[in-house]
Structure 1
């Protein structure tokens, strides 16, 4: 127990210190550009950073996340940091875009986007720590474990691309609407209100779906401890209408955030949520294959697949068939 506590505290220190390079660099940049004439010897660097907010965001991500997180993951033999920072980086990005010298935005749209991102982050961070039993770096994503076993020795360098560089593509792409919001001062309109409501709906759905899943897993763990048979499949609450309601809620959040970008004339930014949706579709296949490999729930899960919608919540197929026959 003492060893586990010490490891968790050490990981907490690492997690708090690891973003400091990019934070300190950006704060130095803001301080320099707040004066009328940026002091040498970095005047040219600060001028470039002022003109290229999106490129700067990518460079900071590459240096501080792709490279530094990867090195730490190799040293710890555990790539857990990227999972935690999935919940933090969007908050950092929305504040970065809002505070950049080139930022221009409708005050209401900016404030709502920042507030929504914080709500989303708190929800996801709470779920992360709850799932990890409130430990820092207890384990890494099961998909990384499978890739480590599959690729063997080459995994040490392949992990840079599979775990980190790929995350940059997804996260920067998903957060493009935050850049769009702070690149236009178009006044708030009805589409912003619709986007706000849809974002909140996605967050609420994901919260309740994850909570129901957590309670289901906890109940099964308690049943297993006392030698009682566990329940093979979760088919209550939102899970009776969708096999992955947590994924649906998360996708609704990102697509709704895109509505803000579309509303200010940046419709091409659909590439961010689309790429994430395609990736999550593949993850859904992996998760379901994993469920079918477990003998104690394979039969129940096949029936669940037959009767229940994959993502979008809907009535079970048996219910619809009864309605047609009546």
Structure 2
């Protein structure tokens, strides 16, 4: 029953933003409004309420909708359910919603081919990540929240109810709006496609492929050990994991930095800030994950050796134990 309830909640929760935005678009469908026009004489002034809701700045409106629909509504649902599971699921959905939002906004200006490539790639990325999420959760909706949130819940105790608004939701606005900045940039200027668009698309595709294989190898490793019901192998060091301790994180970063290339190519290099913030966040998550691994007695020694001989993110050849540094990585 809980699985069905969570599924229904997940499908219904974005409706406030969707209904508002569809209503918003209808307001701009009146005759005389020229899509993307900068000529004030050819554009009928929108109704007053549209100004109130940041109608003439897509980025501000996106932030407002995120704050109300995700930060506030998700947070209230999380309090009622005592679980913040939904933000993990919507990490894979919100970028898709954003790319369509920026592409359909009445003031959008963009190259059709570039927009199509970014949209398709975003859908592929989302499907890949959503599949990995549900596969890992055994196709359950909201069976558990991220272990990092659970640890924070224990740490903050009775204060977690208000701390979670900032730690779980407001922070996600910075990350999700930030990493999607190139989508906004790509839909704000009609620059012709060039070779850099091809390079950006290749980098994004490589990121998706690397992350898919890394997550699949990790999933199969975990399932194989569960089936054996023994700790046959302490650490995964096969496939991509032989050359990188976190190839899934590497693939995810390739995706976002490839997306940042699209933003840079249309003259908005500042949009790389989202990918940079995401990389810094993953660096911190990497530290947390490795500390957690070292706290498990049955694999601590093996993992220390793994740290010394294997690259952190970028896949590279192993270092022999004799040449590895003596200090311990964490």
For the aligned pair, the TM-score class normalised by the smaller chain equals over 0.9
Partner of residue 235, structure 2: 233
Partner of residue 266, structure 1: 268
What do residues 114-141 of structure 1 show as CA deviations (whole Å, max 9, x unaligned)?
A: 0000000000000000000000000000
Partner of residue 38, structure 2: none
Partner of residue 279, structure 2: 277
Query: Where does structure 1 lack aligned partners over 5 or more consecutive residues?
Result: 1-5, 322-326
Tell me if structure 2 keeps the 8 A contact 1:79–1:140: yes
Q: Distance in 2 between matches of 1:51 and 1:41?
A: 9
Q: Quick one: which of 10, 13, 25 aligns to 1:30?
A: 25
Map 1:41-56 to 2 at 5 A: 43-45=48-50, 49-56=54-61
Q: Quick one: which of 97, 116, 121 aligns to 1:92?
A: 97
Partner of residue 324, structure 1: none
Q: CA deviation at 1:55?
A: 0.4
Is the partner of 1:102 in helix, strand or coil?
A: coil
Tell me if structure 1 keeps the 8 A contact 2:28–2:46: no
Partner of residue 310, structure 1: 312
Q: Distance in 2 between matches of 1:241 and 1:221?
A: 24
Partner of residue 15, structure 1: 10
What do residues 255-290 of structure 1 show as CA deviations (whole Å, max 9, x unaligned)?
A: 010000000110111111111111110000000000
Is the partner of 1:34 in helix, strand or coil?
A: coil
Q: Distance in 1 between matches of 2:55 and 2:65?
A: 14
Partner of residue 296, structure 2: 294
Q: CA deviation at 1:48?
A: 5.2
Tell me if structure 2 keeps the 8 A contact 1:33–1:46: no
Q: Distance in 2 between matches of 1:40 and 1:112?
A: 33
Tell me if structure 2 keeps the 8 A contact 1:88–1:121: yes
Q: Distance in 1 between matches of 2:119 and 2:25?
A: 19
Flag the 1:268–1:124 CA change in 2: closer, same or farther, 3 A. Answer: same
Partner of residue 60, structure 1: 65
Equivalences, count: 314
Partner of residue 139, structure 2: 134
Q: Distance in 1 between matches of 2:312 and 2:253?
A: 13
Is the partner of 2:55 in helix, strand or coil?
A: helix
Tell me if structure 2 keeps the 8 A contact 1:201–1:253: yes
Q: Distance in 2 between matches of 1:229 and 1:167?
A: 36
What do residues 91-132 of structure 1 show as CA deviations (whole Å, max 9, x unaligned)?
A: 000000000001011110000000000000000000000000
Map 1:68-83 to 2 at 5 A: 68-83=73-88
Tell me if structure 1 keeps the 8 A contact 2:179–2:275: yes
Q: Distance in 1 between matches of 2:193 and 2:295?
A: 50
Q: Which has the larger share of helix?
A: 1
Partner of residue 105, structure 1: 110
Tell me if structure 2 keeps the 8 A contact 1:32–1:46: no
| TM-score between both structures, scaled by the size of structure 2 | 0.92
2:161 maps to 1:156: yes
Q: CA deviation at 1:45?
A: 2.3
Q: Distance in 2 between matches of 1:134 and 1:89?
A: 20
2:206 maps to 1:204: no
Q: Quick one: which of 148, 169, 177 aligns to 2:174?
A: 169
Q: Distance in 1 between matches of 2:215 and 2:46?
A: 51
Q: Quick one: which of 249, 252, 266 aligns to 1:250?
A: 252
Tell me if structure 1 keeps the 8 A contact 2:305–2:321: no
Q: Superposition RMSD on alpha carbons, in Å?
A: 1.9
Query: Where does structure 2 lack aligned partners over 5 or more consecutive residues?
Result: 34-43, 324-330
Q: Quick one: which of 144, 147, 167 aligns to 2:149?
A: 144
Tell me if structure 1 keeps the 8 A contact 2:27–2:46: no
